[in-house]
Amino acid sequence: MNYPHNPTGATVDFYFYRELLKTLRFSNMLIVGDCAHMHPGNPDAAGPLQVKNAVHRVLELHSFAVSLGIPGLGFAVGNKNVISILKNLMIVHGFTHNAYNLHLALACLDHADEIYKIRMEELRKRRETLVEGLKRLNWHLRSGRLVPFVWAKPPFRSTSPAIARRLFIKAGIRVTPGSDFGENGEGWIRMALNGDERKISESIERLSQHSRLWQRKFRPDTQAI
């Protein structure tokens, strides 16, 4: 399982995991939670290990690359036998950690609450800048608070690869076609929040300048930009 979900951004709460474990209590199954987008400083984060006595049937995988920006490093918690197997596999495949990144990750865990607040505030500002700009252009939007991307659908009909191609060629904006993530993503594109607010505002301005080349009826509100 993967929550907060990539690529949709969907989230679940503690009761979802409690009901899931209750349903599978007589099954010989291991539940693996891919928690890459679960920030260690989030006080409201929900994971399967929060359920009582779940440690024997659950493994959580966490990534420092996504939550803290430290590449190639993460950790696993849960069933000790599975963790032992993972450790042996990493030894066999020659995986070694970078000592600097390890010390950096430990320091980040000591200040996880502060880092989480700073990161969420940055994402909030970037998301609001992007969402408000696209709404002025009549785009349809879906976004999650905990994930660094926004799903967007333009007010004209086109395939998602064609939308991405037009954005790149005409406006110099690089996005990911929704169809890359499955058939339900067709017609949508996924826009990352990696750039700062200035870059996002510049992208919205370029998009508004080229929107009339794609559709006949709609005219962007240039004064709002």
- 55-90 pLDDT tens trace: 999 999 999 988 888 888 889 999 999 999 999 998
Any idea what the Cα angle at residue 94 is, between residues 93 and 96, rounded to 5°?
130
Backbone angles phi, psi at 119, to 5 degrees: -65, -45
Structure tokens at 5: 């979900």
Domain limits, CATH 3.90.1150.10, in the chain:
119-213
Instruction: Give the fold, CATH level 3, of 14-110.
Output: Aspartate Aminotransferase; domain 2 (3.40.640)
- pTM comes to 0.76
Q: Rounded to whole angstroms, how far apart are CA atoms 143 and 163?
A: 19
The CATH superfamily of 119-213 is Aspartate Aminotransferase, domain 1 (3.90.1150.10)
Q: Residues 120-144, buried b or exposed e (16+ Cβ, 10 A)?
A: eeebeebbebbbebbebbebebebb
- Amino acid occupying residue 127: R
**Which stretches in the chain have pLDDT values below 50?**
216-218, 220, 222-225
Largest Cα span, the chain: 62
Q: Rounded to whole angstroms, how far apart are CA atoms 199 and 207?
A: 12
